[in-house]
Amino acid sequence: MNVFRLALVPAVAVAFTLPLAAQANSVWHPAAGEAGVTYHPEHFKSAKTRAQVMAEVDAARKDGTLALLQPGAPLPVKSSEPPKTRQQVIEEMRAESPDARRARLELLTGG
């Protein structure tokens, strides 16, 4: 039984110290006081080069997603299907079952 306890002590010590080691690589560190955390931007490590990031920003600027991201708007989902006409949407709504209509209205009104 003593051998088991001796083997268990280092395992428990490692288990308690691993989360602390992981936080050292994080940008946010726990801190005492009201804030609870401190920000350390110098700890950030990126796998991308500056040129790659600038290319992504230029691509986002060209396709219009940068203008949506700046105010915090959600990005539109790109559909693989052809767009529907107004008449097709109206016909789909008229043909839906009462259960499907109730579920759609609950989804739109939140309950």
Domain ranges of the chain: 1-45
Q: What percent of the chain has a predicted confidence (pLDDT) above 90? A: 31
pLDDT, one tens digit per residue, over 44-92 is 888 899 999 999 999 989 988 888 888 888 877 888 889 999 999 999 9
pTM listed for this prediction: 0.37
Cα–Cα distance measured from residue 24 to residue 26, given in angstroms and rounded to the nearest whole number: 6
Specify the pLDDT at position 17. Answer: 58
pLDDT value at 5 more than 80: no
